[in-house]
Structures are given as C-alpha cells and as structure tokens.
Amino acid sequence: MSSHIIALVTDFGSEDGYAAAMKGRILSLTPGVTLVDVSHDITPYNIRQAAFALNNCYPYFPPKTIFVVVVDPGVGTERNGLVIKTSQYYFIGPDNGVFSFIYAREAYQAYRIVLHQMEVTISPTFHGRDVFAPIAAKIAANKNIGNYLAETREVVSFLHPPVRTSEKTFTLEALTIDHFGNIILNFHKKDWQKLGNTPNISVVINDQTLNGIHETFGKTGEGELLLTWDSSDYLQIACNKGNAAERLQFSLTDSIQLKIW
C-alpha cells in the first residue's frame, strides 16, 4: 500500500471516462495510492490555464506528491514527455509549457521520457493513460524508473518577466483569466518589492485606468474594477461580485500597461 498522493490536472472533462481510465490504471499498478482531482475541466488545449492551476495548488501539498498534468495538443508528435523533480515533488507531463511556473519558482532536474523503453503498448493519442499515469504509479510504488528517463536541459516555458519600457512604465501580459473572470498579470508581488519603497501602481487596460492596489474585493463598491494580489501573489484585475474580463471585454492578446508613481 502506497502512502503517496497523485494529483491530476487534465483537459479531458469527465464525461468521456478518459480521466477515469488514468485513475484506474494508477490504482491497478499501485493499490492504496491517494488520488486527488485538481481539475479535468481545463479548457481543451489551454496550456496556460493548466500551468496556472498547478501553480495555485502545488505548494500546499505534502512532500512526495506526484503531479500529473495532461493538457497535450501535441500528443503523438515529437514533443517530449517530461518528469520534473524538485526537492519536494514530482511533475509529469508533456514539454509544452505546463510546468512554466515550476521552472520559475523551484530548483529542478528535468528528464525526458524514453518511450521505446517502456515495454507497453502506447496509444498515439493517449499518453495520459499509457505513459504519464504508469510512470506516476511506479514512482508512487517506489519503483526505479531510471531506465525510462534521460536527463535534459532544455524545457519549454511561456512565462516572461514584465518588460520595462521606461523608468516608470512596464508592458505586462495576461497569464490567464480565472473562473471568476479575474485577469491575472505577469507582475508578481516580488517584482513590485524589487522596485523599492512599494510605489503606487496604475494599470491601463482597454481605455480604463485602475489606480492603487486594494487589499480585498469587498471594500470597493459592487461591480467596481480594482487591482489586488491574487492568492499566489500575482497582480490581478478583479471586479467586486462581478466578472472583470467581461466588464472590460478583455481578450488575452489585449495590451496592458503598468505605471508606477
């Protein structure tokens, strides 16, 4: 009986049984392992959303937790499968950016998965079930999987730092839009603290200017837009009891300016 936890992030939905096939395979290989559904409702092929979900939850799990992330539009092509090892966790999934936040926050070793070593039949469209789930199960069973892995130094990330365009201005990117319509920006509390003296901040987005960082939603009027830190300390544009992205008719490619004063 394994005392490990395996946490799952996929874009499979649940209505086709694909995520359950992964769960069944894991429970067959490693009885007693604890499965946690992080999400199976990632928007299909939305790598950024999966990375964001993983980033919001992984630090709260116990050491040795194994995260399996299967948002994998390139399945069956030449993209690598990865096992990422940090001091506390394992992360398993495709090399397409789903682990971008991990690379930014953790010291890690990266291994690509050598498929032809796996001695199993692998569906070209379902590595979640046939590659990533079995590898997670074997790690949870404390089996040696070294022969499936080859160290690698190049991994794919979509995470870019804010771009300073003048002494007082930055161009930001939206990392994702969350379930409540909050727009999450690539500007971390640490980026702000590095500016010294915790300066005032304004964000200009779709012809609106939002001034100052609020501590919480509830202290502004209902339906008002505001800036606040999200629960992982990224700057976010929120709307008290409303949906900021809809209010701003925002799409992920719209330009965002940050000013300090």
Judged by the rule CB under 8 A, the positions of this chain that interact with a second copy are: 3, 5, 7, 9, 12-18, 20-25, 27-28, 31, 34-45, 49, 52-62, 65, 73-77, 123-126, 129, 178-180, 215-219, 228, 230-231, 241
> Residue 70 is encoded by which pair of tokens?
């299967």
Q: Which amino acid appears at position 95 of this protein? A: D
> Strand runs (DSSP E) across the chain, as ranges?
5-10, 34-39, 66-70, 81-86, 90-94, 108-113, 149-152, 163-166, 169-172, 174-177, 183-188, 201-205, 208-211, 213-214, 225-229, 234-239, 256-260
- For residue 105, the minimal CB distance to a second copy (Å) is 14
- For residue 149, the minimal CB distance to a second copy (Å) is 23
Residues 50/109, Cβ–Cβ less than 8 Å = no
Closest CA to 52 of 105, 14, 131, 88: 105
Of the pair 65, 80, the CB lying nearest a second copy is at 65
Of the pair 82, 182, the CB lying nearest a second copy is at 182
- For residue 124, the minimal CB distance to a second copy (Å) is 4
Of the pair 124, 146, the CB lying nearest a second copy is at 124
Of the pair 31, 161, the CB lying nearest a second copy is at 31
- For residue 229, the minimal CB distance to a second copy (Å) is 8
